[in-house]
């Protein structure tokens, strides 16, 4: 697999692997149990340049590519998915929309702090009745005296309520437009809302099954006013632009899921060699060794899938379908490997201080977030000409 990577990519992966094992892993169980955000870890990741990996140096980035980000996510997710999703969302959902669609003034204002990891940003898309189905969006924004007036609510927004969150980009209905068939449809735009803006409230964090050390909140907007120039991208293109961001993000989520799947393999191999029953290490039993072999096959397949999607993206080729395949395969690999690793660990796999137990709780969301498994199947089917 390393033959597919440049020397720089290999060096980055090794550096992040060492950091994950030496800095993140020792405090992972503590933050998970306390549901506490790991500010000290995030600060060190910022100092390493991880939040700026796929961005040009002119905005404070590292001048790398998307594969570099994916490699970092894979290594971190082996030991802590909460920290990995904080990085993925901070880059893919926080900084990337501003880089892709922002004005030069917006980029100069917001990107330097986001790419340094000193600040985080969230993307407010999901609502009670809206997410994959944009037609359900009920949050509205209207122009009044040179300001957008925003009203509505959002759900499940990552990185939206930390002490270092600087902004949330929000999708809102800004009017109606006419479709090609003559019917009217919602005009959805994206608007930057800085933290602390009057009328913008962050609700209490969710009591989640997993990803306990990541930051996730509901948001509400009540006559929330921001300047007209806070419009991000072209008016009416907000949801379309976000779909492009989501395609990229699925590659990153696939990398994260691959890391989770591989982390379960690594933990299972170590445990199987150490744990002894009836006078032998359990790795000597075919039932255990074959289970771990299947786990490795899943991880390997998931890695190949996200590598190809990232390579197509870097080459400027269409990658939407490949991103969906990678996300589908990797998400299922993470969940399946977590289940098998927990079984291998037996009773210890049910104790939260063990990494595999946290992977078991954390991995389910990888089949749901940033497009469910069913959405990926729908997109793949469409690419085959199936309705």
Known active-site residue 370:
yes
DSSP string, 102-151: --HHHHHHHHHHHHTTSSEEEEE--BTTBSS-GGG---EEEEETTEEEEE
> Which helix (H) or strand (E) element contains residue 55?
none
> Which helix (H) or strand (E) element contains residue 92?
none
Q: What distance in Å separates the CA atoms of residue 16 and residue 255, rounded to the nearest whole number?
A: 14
Looking at 7, 104, 370, 374, which residue is catalytic?
A: 370
Q: What distance in Å separates the CA atoms of residue 296 and residue 23, rounded to the nearest whole number?
A: 25
Cα end-to-end span (Å), the chain? 36
**Residue keyed to tokens 């920290």:** 83
CB neighbour list of residue 217: distance below 8 Å, 6 or more residues apart: 157, 160, 161, 202, 203, 204, 205, 206
| 234: region left, alpha or beta (phi > 0 left; psi from -120 to 50 alpha) | beta
Three-state DSSP class for residue 195? coil
Three-state DSSP class for residue 217? strand
Q: What distance in Å separates the CA atoms of residue 262 and residue 333, rounded to the nearest whole number?
A: 9
**Residue keyed to tokens 């892993």:** 25
> Which helix (H) or strand (E) element contains residue 176?
strand 165-178
**Residue keyed to tokens 């930057």:** 192
Q: What distance in Å separates the CA atoms of residue 350 and residue 347, rounded to the nearest whole number?
A: 5
Q: What distance in Å separates the CA atoms of residue 17 and residue 42, rounded to the nearest whole number?
A: 15
Which residues are part of the catalytic machinery? 370
């Amino acid at each position: 697999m390393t033959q597919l990577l440049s020397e720089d990519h290999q060096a980055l992966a090794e550096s992040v692997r060492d950091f994950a094992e030496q800095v993140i892993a020792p405090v992972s169980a503590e933050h998970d149990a306390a549901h506490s955000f790991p500010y000290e870890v995030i600060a060190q990741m910022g100092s390493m340049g991880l939040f700026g990996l796929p961005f040009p140096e002119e905005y404070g980035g590292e001048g790398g590519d998307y594969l570099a980000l994916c490699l970092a996510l894979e290594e971190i997710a082996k030991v802590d998915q909460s920290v990995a999703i904080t990085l993925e969302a901070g880059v893919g959902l926080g900084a990337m929309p501003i880089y892709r669609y922002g004005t030069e003034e917006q980029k100069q204002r917001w990107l330097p702090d986001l790419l340094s990891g000193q600040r985080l940003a969230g993307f407010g898309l999901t609502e009670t009745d809206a997410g994959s189905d944009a037609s359900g969006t009920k949050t509205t924004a209207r122009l009044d005296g040179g300001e957008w007036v925003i009203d509505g609510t959002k759900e499940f927004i990552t990185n939206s309520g930390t002490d270092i969150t600087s902004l949330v980009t929000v999708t809102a209905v800004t009017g109606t437009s006419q479709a090609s068939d003559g019917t009217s449809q919602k005009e959805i735009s994206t608007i930057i809302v800085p933290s602390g803006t009057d009328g913008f409230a962050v609700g209490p964090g969710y009591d989640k099954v997993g990803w306990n050390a990541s930051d996730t909140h509901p948001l509400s907007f009540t006559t929330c006013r921001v300047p007209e120039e806070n419009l991000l991208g072209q008016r009416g293109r907000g949801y379309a632009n976000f779909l492009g961001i989501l395609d990229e993000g699925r590659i990153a989520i696939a990398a994260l899921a691959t890391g989770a799947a591989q982390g379960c393999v690594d933990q299972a191999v170590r445990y199987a060699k150490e744990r002894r029953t009836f006078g032998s290490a359990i790795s000597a039993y075919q039932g255990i060794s074959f289970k771990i072999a299947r786990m490795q096959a899943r991880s390997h397949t998931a890695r190949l899938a996200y590598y190809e999607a990232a390579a197509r993206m870097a080459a400027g080729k269409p990658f939407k379908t490949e991103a969906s395949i990678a996300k589908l395969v990797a998400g299922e690999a993470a969940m399946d490997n977590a289940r098998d690793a927990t079984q291998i660990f037996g009773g210890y796999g049910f104790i939260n201080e063990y990494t595999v137990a946290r992977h078991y709780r954390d991995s389910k969301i990888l089949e749901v977030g940033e497009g469910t498994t069913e959405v990926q199947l729908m997109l793949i089917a469409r690419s085959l000409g199936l309705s």
